[in-house]
């Protein structure tokens, strides 16, 4: 078994987005990770629906859409129409998380829930059986290229225990500061999906970098 790899196009060259998506198509990546930031939930704005639609026109891998926005319920259908295969919302942005997760599933999308570095994974206890993925933020959301937070390993372990305890089938996805320096340790700790932005797109040969992340074990 190998980790699933989700290159984050937040770190791509937006002026050459088609080329960047084609690079991901040609690689062993499993998903295209799409970061949506609203300038409210996080202190940054990335891009919106027309860009997701444009990416989807060229993508041959499923779009893993990570919504770092308040009131995500308003936009679930629009992101589904724009091409999302999986939609991940933040626990911290959803006062009615159960309802939001059901709404994503009703669209026939995979449903993910993300937790910020300060949010204990035990807060997922009563929702974890409903979700396809739990995304653990290993940096504070809002920017690519930040330093990986070491406490993430403990959270992966605690989440793994919660998954076993509850009989959940959720995948564990790690987002932020992932590189060849921690990919193996993350996978061994129990991570199933690794998101990587800067490490992939700043490398000389992104296709080879994606390959290395996937086959590091």
145 known member of a binding site: yes
| Total interface residues for Zn ion by CB under 5 A | 3
Supply the minimum distance, in Å, between the C-beta of residue 165 and Zn ion: 27
Supply the minimum distance, in Å, between the C-beta of residue 114 and Zn ion: 8
Residue 23 backbone phi and psi in degrees, to 5: -60, -45
In the chain, what are the helix, strand and coil shares in percent, each to the nearest 5?
40, 20, 35
Cα–Cα distances in angstroms (integers) from residue 61 to residues 77, 83, 122, in the given order: 20, 11, 32
168 known member of a binding site: no
Query: Which positions touch ligand DX5 (CB under 6 A)?
Result: 8, 10-11, 33, 35, 66, 139, 141-146, 175-178, 195-199
20 makes contact with Zn ion (CB under 5 A): no
Taking the C-alpha atoms of residue 131 and residue 87, their distance in angstroms, rounded to an integer, is 10
* C-beta nearest to ligand DX5: residue: 197
Catalytic residues: 35, 175
Supply the minimum distance, in Å, between the C-beta of residue 9 and ligand DX5: 8
The angle subtended at Cα 137 by Cα 20 and Cα 172, nearest 5°, is: 85
Which x/- pattern, by CB under 5 A, does the window 23-42 give for Zn ion? ------------x-------
DSSP string over 27-40: SS-S-EEEEEEBSS
Strand partners, 110: 86
Out of 175, 193, 196, 210, the residue judged to bind Zn ion by CB under 5 A: 175
For 18, the 3-state DSSP assignment is: helix
- Of the candidates 208, 55, 36, which has an alpha carbon nearest to the alpha carbon of residue 112? 36
206 binds, among Zn ion, ligand DX5, none (CB under 5 to 8 A by kind): none
Supply the minimum distance, in Å, between the C-beta of residue 45 and ligand DX5: 12
Binders of Zn ion in range 187-206 (CB under 5 A): none
DSSP string over 93-128: G-TTHHHHHHHHHHTT-EEEEEE-TTS-GGGGTTTG
23 binds, among Zn ion, ligand DX5, none (CB under 5 to 8 A by kind): none
177 binds, among Zn ion, ligand DX5, none (CB under 5 to 8 A by kind): ligand DX5
- Which residues carry a binding-site annotation for a divalent metal cation? 33, 35, 66, 175
Residue stretches of the annotated binding site: 8, 33, 35, 66, 142-145, 175-177
Tell me which residues touch Zn ion (CB under 5 A): 35, 66, 175
């Amino acid at each position: 078994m190998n980790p699933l790899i989700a290159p984050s196009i937040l770190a791509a060259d937006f002026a050459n987005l088609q080329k960047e998506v084609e690079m991901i198509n040609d690689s062993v990546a499993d998903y295209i990770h799409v970061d949506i930031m609203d300038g409210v939930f996080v202190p940054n704005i990335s891009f919106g629906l027309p860009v997701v639609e444009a990416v989807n026109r060229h993508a041959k891998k499923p779009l893993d859409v990570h919504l770092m926005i308040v009131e995500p319920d308003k936009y679930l259908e629009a992101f589904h129409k724009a091409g999302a295969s999986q939609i991940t919302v933040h626990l911290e942005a959803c006062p009615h998380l159960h309802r939001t997760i059901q709404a994503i599933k009703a669209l026939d999308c995979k449903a993910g829930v993300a937790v910020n570095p300060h949010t204990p994974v035990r807060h997922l206890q009563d929702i974890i059986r409903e979700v396809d993925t739990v995304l653990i933020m290993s940096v504070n959301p809002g920017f690519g290229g930040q330093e990986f937070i070491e406490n993430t390993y403990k959270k992966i372990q605690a989440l793994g225990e919660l998954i076993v305890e509850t009989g959940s089938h959720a995948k564990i996805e790690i987002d932020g500061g992932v590189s060849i320096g921690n990919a193996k340790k993350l996978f061994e700790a129990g991570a199933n999906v690794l998101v990587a932005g800067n490490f992939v797109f700043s490398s000389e040969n992104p296709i080879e970098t994606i390959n290395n992340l996937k086959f590091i074990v």
